[in-house]
Amino acid sequence: MACYTFILGVIVVSGFINLSAANKDTCDLYAAVGESLTLQSFVERLASTDVLRWTHNSTIIFYRERGRVSVGRSEDISASGSLLQRNLKHSSAGIYEAHALSPNGTLIKSWRGRLCMMDKVQKPQLSYSCDFKSNAVNLNCFVAKPQGLTFSWTLDEKTLTSETKQTLSISLTQLKGERSFTCSVSNKVSKERSDSVRPSCVSPSPAPPKMLCFTSKTIIAALAGGAGLFLLLLIIVIILCCCHRRSTTRVRLRDQGELRMLSLKKQECDAISPEYETMHPAEDSPPPSPKPSPRVSYQNISQPEILTDSTPPQLSAAAEGQKPSPIPKPRTKNPQIQNV
């Protein structure tokens, strides 16, 4: 029994602790960043001799005693003791406490509250899209940070109380004529409204009947296959042309080499032929005639020939037209003239 009593006591204490923590995290006041806020007084009027003290997170931010201000500014305090906070920031959030004391130190009144800071909401952007499959128009109220915001919709300046989501879907049958839509977003410190939008959804013309029994995917696949086959044939033709050109080049180079070798052999034969004929006279050349006797040779030589023996003999025109024989003639001794 004592064990159950102890467990019940622990549960009750834990509940009180959680409740106090929840109260500690609960915001009594909300304010927007950059705005001003007046913390309302808890008394109707304070005497100039009374003591007034304001604290923020246990730090004194205003203190006045017997009409003399030692901390803060006197223009931030009203006659009833309200505190004006200017240009609030996120660091301005926290617990504010106020204490009013009489000149003899008796507590007149005290106040304690928690201030939470929030950013102002941005102006939403309203857009729409027509969905002919579901026969509806879908509207979207776009904001950068939709978490913690409240959405509301108006149709022709009438609030749609049942619509509190970020999107709205309306049947196309309700859009007969011009209908105006707006959306609004709000939080505890600010509210913004979008520009009005008049959706216009025109049903598209029906698609023409299909001329082919093939689907678009089949046609695309066939075209892709044909393009691939054409590319393969083009590559094969290019390779064959390159091979044919290479073989043709090899044959031409080989023919040129053979012609060059034949030309060189012919030049060598032309250079060797005169020497060969000189060393080896032709076998079918006529035999040399017998030498005439000196007396007969002397008698056959006429006087003018004797006188011109020293001059070179002149050849006839027929002899000049013929090429000289490459075979050298045998040397003959001049006939000696015998005295008769």
Q: What is the pLDDT of residue 315?
A: 42
DSSP symbol at 329:
P
Could you tell me which residues come within 8 angstroms of residue 185 by beta carbon, excluding any fewer than 6 positions away?
Answer: 121, 122, 124, 141, 143, 146, 149, 150, 151, 191, 192
Residue 298 — very low, low, confident or very high, per pLDDT cuts 50/70/90? very low
Structure tokens at 217: 């995917």
Phi, psi of 135 (to 5 degrees): 55, 50
Q: How far is CA 220 from CA 207, 208, 224, 226, in A?
A: 19, 19, 6, 10
Provide the pairing of β-strand 68-71 with 83-85: unpaired
Average pLDDT of the segment spanning 93-111: 88
Q: What number of other Cβ atoms are within 10 A of residue 54's Cβ?
A: 24
Whole-structure pTM value: 0.48
Q: What is the pLDDT of residues 193-246, one digit of tens each?
A: 999 999 888 776 665 555 556 677 788 888 888 888 888 999 999 999 989 888
Cα–Cα distance measured from residue 29 to residue 95, given in angstroms and rounded to the nearest whole number: 10
Q: What is the pLDDT of residue 268?
A: 76
Residue 218: how many CA atoms within 13 Å on its side-chain side?
Answer: 4
Average pLDDT of the segment spanning 125-141: 91
Cα–Cα distance measured from residue 40 to residue 280, given in angstroms and rounded to the nearest whole number: 148
Q: What is the pLDDT of residue 217?
A: 79
